[in-house]
Amino acid sequence: MHNIEAINKLLKDELAATETYQQALNKLKEDVSLGEAEQLMPIYEDHIVAVASLQTQSRDHGGTADEDAGAWGTWAKLLLGGATILGQQSVLKALHEGEKSGVEDYEEALKDTQLAADLRSLIETKLLPAQKAHVRTLDLLLDAA
């Protein structure tokens, strides 16, 4: 049960990220050239893959995978909604903060000595490196904006 709780916490983060990126991509496509949207699309796709991976982990560990982001998703939508009113730079900053929070959550999960080996491996080899790459991409986009 312990691993399922850890998986579902991370899964909610990833579900919130997919919802938030979908909104951000829609907003950026409306407002500016497609440059930022094209650079954000791979990050959005990474989050979709992470959701699928964590849902598989949940099922493999005997759990029922969450399918919505819950309160975290609502908060992310509100944050992004406010940012979209303020413009492109604010959208990128909101996404950046979300990615940094995701890095912290993955790092926190890795501190758990009871974390299953397969889940630990997934986080160490795929999910956390991808999350860190997202932060770097958003750093570059913010520097250029």
Percent of the chain scoring above 70 in pLDDT: 79
CATH number for the segment(s) 2-144:
1.20.1260.10
More confident residue, 33 or 98: 98
Rg over CA atoms, the chain: 15
pLDDT score of 93: 84
- Identify the burial level of 145 via C-beta atoms within 10 angstroms of its C-beta, where 0-12 means exposed, 13-18 middle and 19 or more buried: middle
Residue 86 pLDDT: 59
Residue 75 has what pLDDT?
57
Q: What pTM, to 2 d.p., does this model score?
A: 0.85
